[in-house]
Structure formats: structure tokens, C-alpha cells
Amino acid sequence: MKSVPRNKARGRGQRQWIRPRYQQDDRESIDDGWWRDDDEEPLATSVTVEQSRTIISRNRSPDIPFEQSINPYRGCEHGCTYCYARPAHAYMDLSPGIDFETKLFAKPDAARLLEKELASKSYRCSPIALGANTDPYQPIERQWRITRQIIETLQRCRHPLTIVTKSALVLRDRDLLSAMAALDLVQVFISVTTLDPELARRMEPRAAAPWKRLRAIEELARAGIPVGVMFAPVIPALNDTEMENILARAAESGAISAGYVMLRLPHEVNILFREWLDTHYPLKSDHVMNMVKDIRGGRENDPEFKSRMRGQGVYADMIEQRFHKTCKRLGLNSRHIRLDTSKFIAPAGNRRQPDLF
């Protein structure tokens, strides 16, 4: 693991270049005496077009509440230090550390591929999740507009979807989402991890500020869009005491549902998160990691279904009880949002008419 110079990593969640676990060769930096760190400009974000043959991913995990998802982008500029999607960058021979948030991939053909897949005679309508891996409204969406094109396609086909995001940019698409909400076709979740601006800046450096996320909840609710809050991840001894306050503020803003996920540290995220703790919260670092091990059966990560999302043991049970009691008191999750799949209209334009001869 190598550290990127501080000036270059300014405004990023990670300074570490960690070797991708599938990479066969190695790289070595050599200082010839001419390089000056103090002259370095911050790392720019690069975006590479990814050519995909399909766009809908299928899920069979029993602890995830959706069967289908779309990820318009690979990598995420938000730079959340705890992001469980970071290890996926290793498949591209890129670092799950700094590369994950600076070397991004976009799928501009996503809407076209989606329409093609929806037109298939074998397609079975089931809600599609946007934001299952990386944020569909990360900063580059302002220019690429891939997420909006996907939503436009789903709206035309009256196909239900769910969205999870940390970005207030979702408000740009409230015209589409409001029209879909009138037909019971959409639900949006805004992820609020902390209300402490300093912790948010360190932990999620390019995501929307906490107050902007609460405002997004309020404006979505005002537009008639069912909106919920995700308190994820719950980080022991770092943000766990904020749970009740975040749920209350979200409910005041118009959220009608809520969820939470315990901190997950798969593969390289374990190393990166520990380094981040040592840098920003050195006095808490050991305590946080010991509590993580406590809810993960003595390990730093638990990949098992169900327990990976909630944890196990006394602390995990306490978090679950606090969450359910708070939701009951605030009226969150009091009614189930059922998205309507019966209105789906398959696009006809991609179905080629058979030749007469």
C-alpha cells in the first residue's frame, strides 16, 4: 500500500493506492530529484466509456430486497471511505483506494441496452434498483445524464424502480419521479450517515452535505414521491449515537420509511478503513475495530447472508432494538410501499418484425 501525496489527494476520501488483488505485475515509483510534492495539483477525475452488452444485473441474495439492479457508473467520486463497492475496482486492475474515486467508468449506452432488454419476450417485470453498488447521482451525472436517461426509459415503459443516493442531484429528476409516483412506480431512499458536517467531510468528502440530504427528503416528499432514509452504515463508536436524531430529522422532513445496514469491510475495504481511522480518529481506532470484531463473530468482516447486513451479538441486537423502537415512535415503516408491476408496457421498437419470406 502506497500513499498518494497529500496535495494530490486533497478533497478525496482515500490517499492510499492499494495493489489490486488480481494484478500480476507490480509498479514502483522512482524519485529522480525533479518532482516536488508541493507543486502538485489535486488528482483530477477521469471517466472512461465502458462498453456493455447488457445493463440489468440479477441478484439472488436472500438479504437484499430487490431482484434487479442497474449501475450506470463503475467507481464513485463521492469517495466514501467505507464503501463496500471499492473491491470491484480490482477486477479492472485498479486500486480500490484512490483509483476507485478518481478513475471512473460510465455506461452511456445504458438506456438503449435497457430498452432492448425490456423488449425481450422472456423479460419478467420486477422493480429495478438504482444505486445498489455505486451512487447513480454522483457528480459526473451532471454532465453524463445516464441516470436520467434510464429513468426516462422506465417511465415510458411504466416500469417500477427504487433509488438509493447520497446526492441532492436527485431533485433534478423530480418531474419524472413525481409522474411515476402517481402510478405507484417509484420509491427513493436518501442515505444520511451523520449530521456532523466535520465527520461527513472526512468520511464522504464529495457527497452532499447532511443538511442538503434532509432538504432533498423534504422536497421529494412535497412532490408526492415516497421517500425514506437509510442510516448506513452504522459504525460502532463513531456515528451510532446519531441514529435516533437522524431518523427523527428525516421523519420531520417527510420520510415515511427507514432502514439501516451495519458497517461491512470486505477485502481491501478492511485495510483502507483501518488506515482512515488511524489518520482521522487515532484515539478511537482500536475501539472501533474491536467493536466491529464483536459484531462479526471475532472477524473484521462477515460475508454470510443476513448476518452481514445486521451483525450479531449484544451490540447488534441493541442497535436493532433502538432502530425498531425509534421507527415505531416516529411512525416510520408503518405502511408498506408496494410498487406496481402490472402497468408495465414492453417497448415495441426493438422487436424486429419477421421477414415475410
Q: What is the tens place of the pLDDT at every residue in 320-352?
A: 999 999 999 999 999 888 999 999 999 985 444
Quote the pLDDT of residue 132.
85
Place of cell 458536517: 197
Quote the pLDDT of residue 352.
43
Quote the pLDDT of residue 23.
59
Distance CA 266, CA 167 (A): 24
> Which residues lie closer than 8 Å to 82 by C-beta, 6 or more apart?
203, 233, 235, 263, 264, 265, 269, 273
Show the domain range for 79: 2-20+44-330
- Decide if 340 is inside a domain: no
H or E stretch covering 206: none
Residue 164, strand partner residues: 189
- Decide if 352 is inside a domain: no
Per-position b or e across 109-145, b if 16+ CB within 10 A of its CB: bbbebbbbbbbeeeeebbbbbbbbbbbbbbbbbeebb
Quote the pLDDT of residue 36.
53
CA 277 to chain centre: 21
Q: List, for the chain, all residue ranges whose pLDDT scores fall below the cut of 50.
A: 30, 34-35, 350-357
Distance CA 252, CA 226 (A): 14
Quote the pLDDT of residue 304.
85
Quote the pLDDT of residue 346.
96
Quote the pLDDT of residue 25.
52
Cis, bond preceding 233 (omega within 30 deg of 0): yes
Query: For residue 256, which of 232, 228, 225, 230 has the smallest C-alpha distance?
Result: 228
Distance CA 353, CA 254 (A): 48
Backbone angles phi, psi at 178, to 5 degrees: -65, -40
- Decide if 36 is inside a domain: no
Q: Are 300 and 289 in contact (CB under 8 A)?
A: yes
- Decide if 218 is inside a domain: yes
- Decide if 357 is inside a domain: no
> Which residues lie closer than 8 Å to 140 by C-beta, 6 or more apart?
45, 47, 73, 77, 104, 106
- Decide if 184 is inside a domain: yes
Number of domains in the chain: 1
- Decide if 256 is inside a domain: yes
- Decide if 348 is inside a domain: no
**SS3 sequence, 74-126?**
ECCCCCCCCCCCHHHHHHHCCCCCHHHHHEEEECCCHHHHHHHHHCCCCCCCC
CATH number for position 64: 3.20.20.70
Residue 219, burial from CB neighbour count under 10 angstroms (0-12, 13-18, 19+): middle
**What is the 8-class DSSP label of residue 41?**
P
